[in-house]
Structure 1
Amino acid sequence: MLAFTIWVIVLIVSIKLFSSVSGSLSFTKPNLNSLIFYYSLFVSSYIGSLLIALDIDHYYMINKLDHDVYRYIGFGAVSFVMIMLPLTMFLVSKLAGFDAKKEFNEYLKKPIEKTFSQKNEFYLLFLGLSMICMLAVAYTLLKTNQVPIFSLLKGNLSELGLQRIEAARNFGGNVLIRNIFAIALTPLLSLIAYVYAVKTGRLKWIFLFFALFVSALVISVYDLSKSPIIFYIIMFIFVRLYVGKLVLKWQKIVGYTISGAAVIVVMYVFIQGVKDLGSFLNYSSGPIGRIILAQISPTFLHLDLFGHSIPFLNGRSLPSIIIERFDMEQVRSARLVMANAFPNRIEDGTGGVLNTLFIAEAYANFGYLGIILGTIYVGVLVQLIYIIFIRLPKNPVFLCLFIYFSINIPRTLVGGFTDFLFNPIWIFITCLFAGILLFIRLRLDLFAYLQKRKTAGNES
């Protein structure tokens, strides 16, 4: 009863803080911070942490705990994040003079700015980049020994689970080409092309959007992972909402939710062979257990293992660009936890990593101090990103980058901590588009300056 009381109080305080720093927790006005609250924390983490603390989770991962006390310590750690993360974001907003409710609502109403409408430089650069990304999608399929989606379409269902692991871990090509140009950039480019297609109505943008859209769908489902296609659809909903082509109402939200649930059920049936109705309805198994328990349970395993069975990593899972200066080999805590809890899966090749709430990796490296400082750091970083994008011009590129981060930051929060210290894909994408925009802007300014001088020379 005490755990439930704490859970309710913490939840109420967290809701108030997140409402203040996001501008809206309404389902009809989704944003970066509301997704963090609903997806990363409330659904994926806090519901399950209460069930674990009450010892009514009945979840197979939690059965691997060696010390039951970490049921309560883990619950306390997640409760700390529920308060400290938005509190840090609130303090950042105050220091920046950021009125979340006012500025976010103004951003939604702000029209899309015309970008480089007088010249073709941006389209030509965008077309070239799009071709590279579509070729990268084809390259990814060609370099994957057995493409799971093709096996599914052929009716070969026996080894889909193993093929999914093989597609991710034993890719035969260049991983950077796959991860950056195919997986990361292609969906983002499709969103930018969609905005230009809507705002210009030109056939060149419409055709390019459809080509990128198909490529984005292919790369989202090729390895039969459930989350990429769901999150791509959410990004597409966001972009339609933010450009004014969609008004979210409760009927549509319910429809989207039912459709998403149907997709998840179908994927569970065909990919994992689950056909028992009881498995779907049981809160500790099937899709429900995957949503509310699978993501947070490894956090409890991290707390239980590191400092006891496994020594603290002391920075060894930090980005390689940092630790290579200290002659350390990079080790991801999520992989160590998988190897410790499920060694048989590592041996048969069906086990990857047990990603979970970001504080787990911070704890695995630096103990409880890592949880405290890591939460503060992430809160500062996330709120600064939110404020910067809302205050940037609302052109197609900045808008779609905002949506990209609005989806990927909540996903990363339940994936690990080190990606917030150095994320090469985020840095590359940001620098790429900032560089393109800056280059074209300088070209246009130079052209305007030369035209002005030419006009002045003719007049004289």
Structure 2
Amino acid sequence: MLGFNEHYTLGYLLNSERSINITAYVVWGMAIIFPLFMILFEKLFRIDIRKEYKTYICKKTQADRADIFFAVFLVSSVVLLLLLVGFLVKIGYIPLLRLIHSPEGFDFATERTRIGEAYFIHPYISNILILSVIPLFSYISFAYALTLREWKWILLALVLFAASIIVKTYKFEKSPVVFHLLIFVLIYIYLHGGIKRIYMFIIAGLMAAIIVAFYFATGFNGTLLDIYNGPLGRTLFTQVGTLTYCFDLFPEIFGFLGGRSFTPTILKLIGIDSSEHLRSARLTMAFYGSERVYDGSAGVMNTLFVGEAYSNWGFAGVFISIVWVAFIVVVLVWLILRLKKTPGTVVLFALLTVRFGTMLEGGFCDFVYSFDLIFTLALIMCIYICFEHGGKIHQAIIRIADNLRGLAKHV
């Protein structure tokens, strides 16, 4: 709106002025409505998130009988690492090493698409156990290492951290690594009650350096001060451009999707044929980035979650999505703050803090149903109930472990 409109994404718009204006009004409206509804839900439920957070930060982290959990965790980690080795063999190389040094003519875009379709043994094993659980285990081991300061946890945390970095760079993406590292920072803050400002500046500088290094490693040849390309272009314009596509494309070119962006699981529940599933980000890429679809290097065009809501239900969807996301954020954060403070719940809090940030630019439907989020919650809560909470299940596991230990000594 101020005339900075030379970014490549804006060049594809069919009705540039109208679409940019609508996008601006929607973003401004969300900036007001979203926090207002968060405050409203706090008042309705009579909770004070800020007070709950201060109380949580000051609590002492409890990790009783962690030796039993370590044995189970270690065996599980070994299995996961073996699966990762098999996955890397299937890919043919370690993607992280190609970021550091790639052969001449190596096409990162095409390889990213090929690797995205690869799997080891079964897609569920690759997508869940390798790509999701290994980073999650690295967070948990890090939290236990900081809490207990035992060498066995420290060494395991270092191994899993290295494995998680390989996982997060397996498709040569930049931002997942930064968000991954940010979770470790948040775990430290939530465990210790804060961090010195100078350390935060250092960490922010390191993360920025990682992003810049990844850009140059994947073929970027511009300058860092170019506002339309590279890191600045990605930060200032790419998300804006793809959000503008939603208001440019619907309903003028395609009719509203009417909920087809929900996962097939949800579509079945609401009586829609699951074969009609279509994420608006995929359709947007197919329309505006057709040349990349043709050459096999295309992914999706994700943007602020209100874009997907508009693509499915128009402006009514935008308003409802803002209200719903505000509700989900307030309720989940409050519930986590009410749990016993353990390494597992600290990881859950840090993970959701970052996950909500990434989901905000992933699509509204992820806030209605996200298998990845549900799986993460279920796994951490299982660890919490079985090994950290101290309830009946926890006590039963301790008794079984003690009996097995006594039997082993007797034999």
Q: Same fold (TM over 0.5)?
A: yes
Which segment drifts farther, 85-94 or 172-181? 172-181
User: Root-mean-square deviation (CA), in Å?
Assistant: 2.2
**Structure 2 vs 1, CA of residues 172 and 187 (structure 1 numbering), >3 Å: closer, same or farther?**
closer
Residue from 351, 373, 396 that aligns with 1:426? 373
Deviation at 1:172, TM superposition (A): 6.3
What percentage of aligned pairs have identical amino acids? 28
Deviation at 1:183, TM superposition (A): 2.2
User: What is aligned with 2:404?
Assistant: none
Read off the aligned partner of 1:114 and give its amino acid letter: A
**Per-residue deviation, residues 44-103 of structure 1 (Å, max 9, x unmatched):** xxxxxxxxx333232111121111211111111111211111111111111222223322
**Per-residue deviation, residues 334-371 of structure 1 (Å, max 9, x unmatched):** 11111111211100011110000001111111111111
Please give the alpha-carbon distance, in whole angstroms, between the structure 2 residues aligned to 1:148 and 1:313: 36
Please give the alpha-carbon distance, in whole angstroms, between the structure 1 residues aligned to 2:37 and 2:2: 29
Residue 139 (structure 1) aligned with residue 86 (structure 2): yes
Give 1:55-74 correspondences, 5 Å limit.
Answer: 55-67=3-15, 68-74=17-23
Residue from 147, 154, 161 that aligns with 1:213? 161
Deviation at 1:131, TM superposition (A): 2.5
User: What is aligned with 1:344?
Assistant: 291
Residue 93 (structure 1) aligned with residue 37 (structure 2): no
Query: Do 2:68 and 2:398's aligned partners in 1 also have CA atoms closer than 8 Å?
Result: no
Deviation at 1:308, TM superposition (A): 0.8
User: What is aligned with 1:235?
Assistant: 183
Read off the aligned partner of 2:143 and give its amino acid letter: V
Residue from 342, 345, 368 that aligns with 1:395? 342
**Structure 2 vs 1, CA of residues 172 and 214 (structure 1 numbering), >3 Å: closer, same or farther?**
closer
Residue from 382, 385, 395 that aligns with 1:438? 385
**Structure 2 vs 1, CA of residues 219 and 63 (structure 1 numbering), >3 Å: closer, same or farther?**
same
Residue 224 (structure 1) aligned with residue 168 (structure 2): no
Please give the alpha-carbon distance, in whole angstroms, between the structure 2 residues aligned to 1:430 and 1:83: 30
Residue 311 (structure 1) aligned with residue 255 (structure 2): yes
**Per-residue deviation, residues 239-273 of structure 1 (Å, max 9, x unmatched):** 11222286231x32332222222222221112023
Task: Say how many residue pairs are matched.
Answer: 392
Say which SS state the counterpart of residue 227 (structure 2) adopts: coil
Query: Do 2:94 and 2:166's aligned partners in 1 also have CA atoms closer than 8 Å?
Result: no
Deviation at 1:435, TM superposition (A): 2.5
Say which SS state the counterpart of residue 310 (structure 1) adopts: coil
Say which SS state the counterpart of residue 362 (structure 2) adopts: coil
Which segment drifts farther, 441-450 or 287-296? 441-450
Which segment drifts farther, 231-240 or 319-328? 319-328
User: What is aligned with 2:272?
Assistant: 326
Query: Do 1:147 and 1:223's aligned partners in 2 also have CA atoms closer than 8 Å?
Result: no
Deviation at 1:173, TM superposition (A): 5.2
Please give the alpha-carbon distance, in whole angstroms, between the structure 1 residues aligned to 2:257 and 2:63: 50
Read off the aligned partner of 2:219 and give its amino acid letter: Q
Deviation at 1:221, TM superposition (A): 1.9
Gaps of 5+ in 1: 1-52, 451-460
Query: Do 2:385 and 2:394's aligned partners in 1 also have CA atoms closer than 8 Å?
Result: no
Which segment drifts farther, 369-378 or 323-332? 323-332
Residue from 165, 188, 195 that aligns with 1:247? 195
Give 1:29-178 correspondences, 5 Å limit.
Answer: 53-67=1-15, 68-117=17-66, 120-144=67-91, 147-158=94-105, 159-171=107-119, 174-178=122-126
Deviation at 1:154, TM superposition (A): 4.8
Gaps of 5+ in 2: 401-411
Deviation at 1:449, TM superposition (A): 9.8
TM-score by length of 2: 0.89
Residue 182 (structure 1) aligned with residue 130 (structure 2): yes
**Structure 2 vs 1, CA of residues 146 and 297 (structure 1 numbering), >3 Å: closer, same or farther?**
farther
User: What is aligned with 1:283?
Assistant: 227
Please give the alpha-carbon distance, in whole angstroms, between the structure 1 residues aligned to 2:358 and 2:100: 28
Which segment drifts farther, 213-222 or 149-158? 149-158
User: What is aligned with 1:408?
Assistant: 355
Say which SS state the counterpart of residue 140 (structure 1) adopts: helix
TM-score by length of 1: 0.80
**Structure 2 vs 1, CA of residues 96 and 113 (structure 1 numbering), >3 Å: closer, same or farther?**
farther
Say which SS state the counterpart of residue 61 (structure 1) adopts: helix
Say which SS state the counterpart of residue 289 (structure 1) adopts: helix
**Per-residue deviation, residues 19-39 of structure 1 (Å, max 9, x unmatched):** xxxxxxxxxxxxxxxxxxxxx
Deviation at 1:122, TM superposition (A): 2.0
Query: Do 1:241 and 1:247's aligned partners in 2 also have CA atoms closer than 8 Å?
Result: yes
**Structure 2 vs 1, CA of residues 129 and 83 (structure 1 numbering), >3 Å: closer, same or farther?**
farther
Query: Do 2:265 and 2:274's aligned partners in 1 also have CA atoms closer than 8 Å?
Result: no
**Per-residue deviation, residues 315-350 of structure 1 (Å, max 9, x unmatched):** 111111011342242111111111111211100011
Read off the aligned partner of 2:181 and give its amino acid letter: I
Read off the aligned partner of 1:347 and give its amino acid letter: Y
Please give the alpha-carbon distance, in whole angstroms, between the structure 2 residues aligned to 1:404 and 1:236: 9
Which segment drifts farther, 165-174 or 353-362? 165-174
Say which SS state the counterpart of residue 323 (structure 1) adopts: helix
Please give the alpha-carbon distance, in whole angstroms, between the structure 2 residues aligned to 1:182 and 1:199: 25
Residue 297 (structure 1) aligned with residue 241 (structure 2): yes
